[in-house]
């Protein structure tokens, strides 16, 4: 554990989890994603998947929320979102649920990588407008998965 209660996760741990829980993918390479996030450690699994593992107990509720809602949202959005492929279980080497998602090809957005900023802004605004149009009345209420921010 680190002093902020986050655990260290490395490729060998991820490979062990894959091998024991999803042996069909055990021969695929596992590589750490440098810009993998704070709440989760992210690893590439082969060329077409990623593995995300919460780094602390307070981030665990996000796994179930994403697993349930990302596929529903994906069909209603104009840009791709990561679709969950498999849900991993806690194990002797890792204490929480985790998930495997489809990898979205591309680069992390940045000013240096955005040639047409107007088009980028238009695409982003269309995505946000589509997200706001989705009927969220049956969505999850604010809770631990969102650190009690927002609403459904």
Q: What does the pLDDT read at residue 84? A: 96
- The answer to whether the CB of 84 falls within 8 A of the CB of 8 is no
Of 97 and 8, more confident: 97
State pTM to two decimals. Answer: 0.85
Please give the average per-residue pLDDT across 76-102, as a whole number: 96
Q: What does the pLDDT read at residue 140? A: 74
Q: Is the pLDDT of residue 148 over 70?
A: no
Residue range 18-72, pLDDT digits in tens = 999 999 999 999 999 987 667 899 999 999 999 999 999 999 999 998 999 999 9
* pLDDT band, very low/low/confident/very high, at 1 (cuts 50, 70, 90): very low
Of 17, 37, 35, residue with least CA distance to 26: 17
- List domains and CATH numbers for the chain: 11-105 (3.30.200.20)
- The answer to whether the CB of 40 falls within 8 A of the CB of 100 is no
Q: What does the pLDDT read at residue 3? A: 47
Q: In whole angstroms, what is the distance from residue 106 CA to residue 82 CA?
A: 12
* pLDDT band, very low/low/confident/very high, at 108 (cuts 50, 70, 90): confident
């Amino acid at each position: 554990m680190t002093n902020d209660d986050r655990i260290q996760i490395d490729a060998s741990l991820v490979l062990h989890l894959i091998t024991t829980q999803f042996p069909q993918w055990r021969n695929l390479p596992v590589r750490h994603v440098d810009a993998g996030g704070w709440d989760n450690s992210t690893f590439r699994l082969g060329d077409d998947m990623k593995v995300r593992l919460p780094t602390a107990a307070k981030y665990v509720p996000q796994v179930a929320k994403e697993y349930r809602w990302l596929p529903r949202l994906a069909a209603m959005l104009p840009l791709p979102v990561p679709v969950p492929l498999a849900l991993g279980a806690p194990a002797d080497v890792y204490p929480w649920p985790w998930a495997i998602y489809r990898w979205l090809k591309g680069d992390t957005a940045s000013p240096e990588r955005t040639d047409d900023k107007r088009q980028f802004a238009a695409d982003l605004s269309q995505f946000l407008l589509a997200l706001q149009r989705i009927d969220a009345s049956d969505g999850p209420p604010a809770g631990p998965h969102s650190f009690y921010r927002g609403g459904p």
